[in-house]
Amino acid sequence: MKFKKLSIAFLTLILVMTLSFTILGQEAELRIYHVNDVHSRVEEDDYAGSMGYAKMATLIDEGRREKANVMFLDAGDTFHGQTIANINEGEAISHILDLMDLDALTLGNHDFNYGQERLEELDYMSNFPFLAANLSKEDGEEIPYTQDYMIKEFDGLTVGVFGLVTPETAYKTHPKNVEGLVFGNPVTAAENAVSELRDQVDVVVALSHLGISEGSEYTSTMVAEEVSGIDLIVDGHSHNVIEEGMMVNDTMIVMAGEYSKYLGYVDLTVENGEVSNISPNLIPREDTMDVEKDYMISKVVERVNRANETITSQVVGRTAVELNGARGNVRTGETNLGNLITDAMRSKLDTDAAITNGGGIRASIDQGEITQGEVITVLPFGNTTMAIELSGADLRAALEHGVSEYPATEGLFPQVSGIKFTFDGDAEPGNRVQQVWVGGEKLDPDAMYTVTTNDFMKAGGDGYSMFADAPIVKEAGGLEEVLMEYIEANAPVAPETEGRIVAE
């Protein structure tokens, strides 16, 4: 009898241990699709290289049929950029992403372009959360349109996602759009978020709009180096194509370029509550030629475009040459489109010079007819044009600031009119500008000059602090309106590069 009791106890112990090992040995699979910096390039576009949301939706739906556990994340700069979004201030994008069952979005700097009130409205109409763990209000009140993180439960695993917004937003949108907001240290915010999430979830994801640019003070690389416990950083802001992911310490960083040229996805294996394998992948647009477009997304895009067509289809003039507004060009050197825009600004307000930030130029224009829609796409931010009075010393300081991050493709790089300057890109920042001429004469640091710029830069945007206190002497309308008026008066336009900006 005693032996029988021992046998039953022994068998019970074995059964419990077997069950325990079965539970501990559970394995779960997770796939995370991701995009970043789409800038509302929602349509397939040969010129921009975009696959568009309709094809992305088809690919993601295929993944959901193949995999039990699937997420879709967006790393920001989503609601603004093209006329399909700008005319309705992001509402069309919200609707499309809802149809695609987006799980979460972190706010990019350009997602603030419509102002905080509109962000709150977009949050209300969207079925996905806006994540921003390092964003707070100066007065300590809760921000109504963001949350620090989200937790999603699947069969067999739990995922925590927190958001990080670049502190550069303070000057990479119009300052009025972020009044009263504090963009905190992303490293500290990440440490706090991981501390809260790590014991609750199997997988920790940072949805980040920090980027990996050497010109940024805070990057996702820094977060991965200084904060342990993050399994994956889905990144944006610097527009990099990280083909096979980038492992930093024990954290994988992924980024899918820009403008919906790529759809990224990461396959993760979770064993015993820990990520045991992580495999990043990118689907380039050229691999999607045979992919059918999602019917509902296509219909929504068609409907919105039809409603906007009466505005966007109006022809304002012609160009005899292609107008170069490519991101990598307007942020590193002189382009003919940069010259055209600044010439229009200087002409409108009759000033000595004009300067605009390359980051405000968002697209090129093909040779031929120019429509209002194309101009709005090039200059989508609704900036106004104004003339300020600057000393020669401050003007030189502005140019010095403009080339301080060269050769990084930063938006502060200047496009100019009425100015010629040379700079040494290998010199230390602060000592790069060599020679400056205004109106053909050498710059006099003690003289006063009238300079046309945009209201974003006048408010200190992109770090142009020397403009903030400069007196405004004239104002005009929207920058896109000024350009359309100039094109109409001078068509066909044929601007050239003229050696206004020379890297020595």
Burial class (CB in 10 A: 0-12, 13-18, 19+), 124: exposed
Closest to 179 in 3D by CA, of 187, 188, 170:
170
Q: Two tokens at 466?
A: 């020397």
The list of the chain residues with pLDDT below 50 reads 1-24
Helix ranges (H only) for 80-180 are 83-86, 91-99, 116-125, 169-172
| Torsion angles phi and psi, residue 229, rounded to 5 | 100, 0
The pLDDT of residue 25 is: 54
| Torsion angles phi and psi, residue 165, rounded to 5 | -105, 140
In the chain, the domains with their CATH numbers are 26-304 (3.60.21.10), 314-503 (3.90.780.10)
The pLDDT of residue 252 is: 98
Other C-beta atoms lying within 10 Å of the C-beta of residue 284: 15
Amino acid at 203: V
Spatial separation of the C-alpha atoms in residues 502 and 190, rounded to whole Å: 41
Which residues lie closer than 8 Å to 199 by C-beta, 6 or more apart?
none
CA dihedral (263, 410, 107, 234) positive or negative = positive
The predicted-structure confidence for 327-347, as pLDDT tens digits, reads as follows: 999 999 999 999 999 999 999
Determine contact, residues 162/234, Cβ cutoff 8 Å.
no
The pLDDT of residue 14 is: 42
Spatial separation of the C-alpha atoms in residues 171 and 271, rounded to whole Å: 43
